[in-house]
Amino acid sequence: MKNPMLEVVSLLLEKLFLISNFTLFSSGATGEDKGRNSFYETSSFHRGDVLEVPRTHLTHYGIYLGDNRVAHMMPDILLALTDDMGRTQKVVSNKRLILGVIVRVASIRVDTVEDFAYGANILVNHLDESLQKKALLNEEVARRAEKLLGFTPYSLLWNNCEHFVTYCRYGTPISPQSDKFCETVKIIIRDQRSVLASAVLGLASIVCTGLVSYTTLPAIFIPFFLWMAG
| pLDDT given for residue 118 in this prediction | 84
Indicate the CATH number of 42-175 among 3.90.1720.10, 3.20.20.70, 3.50.50.60, 3.90.470.10. 3.90.1720.10
| pLDDT given for residue 34 in this prediction | 46
| pLDDT given for residue 85 in this prediction | 87
One digit per residue, pLDDT tens: the chain, 230 residues? 555 544 544 555 555 555 555 444 444 433 444 445 467 888 899 999 999 998 767 899 999 999 999 999 999 999 999 989 889 889 898 899 889 988 999 999 999 999 999 888 999 999 998 888 899 999 999 999 999 999 999 988 889 999 999 999 999 999 988 887 777 766 665 555 555 555 566 566 656 666 555 555 555 555 555 444 44
> Is 176 strand, coil or helix?
helix
Cα dihedral sign, 147-180-77-53? negative
**Rounded to 5°, angle at Cα 105 from 100 and 109:** 95
| pLDDT given for residue 125 in this prediction | 94
Choice among 161, 168, 182, 208 that is catalytic: 161
> Is 74 strand, coil or helix?
strand
pTM for the full predicted model: 0.69
59, β-bridge pairs? 54
Strands across the sheet with 123-124, in order?
Answer: 123-124, 50-54, 59-66, 69-75, 105-112, 150-153
| pLDDT given for residue 192 in this prediction | 56
| pLDDT given for residue 211 in this prediction | 56
Q: CA-CA-CA-CA torsion for 36, 156, 145, 153, nearest 10 degrees?
A: -110
φ/ψ (deg, to 5) at 116: -65, -45
Cα 189 to Cα 81: distance, rounded to the nearest angstrom: 38
Active site residue 161: yes
CB contact burial 185-218 (16+ within 10 A = b; e otherwise)? beeeeeeeebbeebbeebeebbeeeeeeeebeee
**Residue 127 zone, left/alpha/beta (φ > 0; ψ -120 to 50; rest):** alpha
